């Protein structure tokens, strides 16, 4: 009728040359990690800074464990004496005190 021009393909040679070209030039996450690791291993200053940072972090973690060990022992003793029900009651009493405020 007069609608034949709507059924014509828009581009005549659309399917002749469909190449799949990888235009993504960003490196993968694993490649980025390997590149960073290579840079660290090849740089003496970076290695020393990393070793010092990791050792300081380990000392902080060990120090916190040593400082909090008595508290952890008290918590475990309280749990063994009163059970989980005692913990729930202690938490509810504390929340009620906070909720009502000091009278």
Residue 34 is predicted with a pLDDT of 84
Q: Where are the domains of the chain?
A: 27-100
Cα end-to-end distance, the chain, whole Å: 90
Q: What is the pLDDT of residue 81?
A: 87
Tokens standing for 71? 């508290």
pLDDT value at position 99? 86
Determine the pLDDT at residue 31.
80
- In sequence order, the 6+-apart residues with CB closer than 8 A to the CB of 78 are 86, 87
Distance CA 71, CA 93 (A): 20
Q: Which helix (H) or strand (E) holds 58?
A: helix 44-100
Q: What is the pTM of this model?
A: 0.47
Question: Average pLDDT for consecutive 10-residue bins of the chain (103 residues)?
Answer: 59 52 64 82 88 96 94 88 86 89 66
**Phi–psi pair at 101, nearest 5 degrees:** 85, 180
């Amino acid at each position: 009728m007069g609608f034949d021009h709507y059924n014509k393909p828009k581009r005549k040679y659309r399917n002749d040359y469909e190449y799949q070209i990888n235009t993504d030039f960003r490196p993968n996450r694993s490649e980025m990690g390997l590149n960073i690791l290579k840079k660290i291993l090849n740089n003496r200053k970076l290695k020393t800074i990393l070793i010092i940072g990791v050792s300081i972090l380990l000392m902080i973690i060990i120090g916190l464990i040593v400082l909090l060990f008595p508290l952890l022992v008290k918590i475990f003793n309280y749990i063994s004496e009163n059970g989980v029900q005692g913990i729930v009651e202690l938490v509810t009493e504390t929340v009620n005190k906070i909720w009502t405020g000091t009278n």
